[in-house]
Structure 1
Amino acid sequence: MNWVTIKKFSHICGYSEDAIRAKIKKGQWVIDQHFTRAPDGRILISIKGVDKWIVS
């Protein structure tokens, strides 16, 4: 599974939920690369996308 909720990703990576939301708001994470919005509007984080961001 690649896409997870902000809450789940927070537990996996150690970033707080607020820090994740801040990265999205500041534009550090790009939509459809690091995160996306599900049809119901929920934000989902790409584990693979953020992993690439970390090592770049």
Structure 2
Amino acid sequence: MLTWVRLKRYCELSGDTPAAVRGRLKSGRWLRDIHARRPEGSEELWVNLDAVNDWAAGRLPTTDHGKPDGRQ
């Protein structure tokens, strides 16, 4: 199963909008490199499904969910 998906695919699966995702990142409700990130060399934002599921369930991320280099 995939953990990271492109923003367009996440929106297709969830019914969410790109603007809503960007708004959550801007407001700090979602964290960059935890819930979404733009990988080096990519022009697209990618969304972490595991981290988003934690957020939707009202849980803090239980792991770094693939955050590069384990940085905080």
TM-score (norm 2): 0.69
Moved over 3 A (4+): none
- 1:14-43, Cα deviation, whole Å (9 max, x unpaired): 111111111111111012221122012432
Q: Which has the higher helix share?
A: 1
1:29 and 1:40 map into 2 onto residues whose CA distance is 22
DSSP 3-state at the match of 1:53: helix
Query: Where does the alignment leave 5 or more consecutive residues of structure 2 unmatched?
Result: 59-72
Higher strand share: 1
Greater RCO, CA 8 A, separation 6+: 1
Partners of 1:49 and 1:4 lie apart in 2 by 12
RMSD value over aligned CA atoms? 1.2
SS in 2 for 1:8: helix
- Identity over aligned pairs, percent: 25
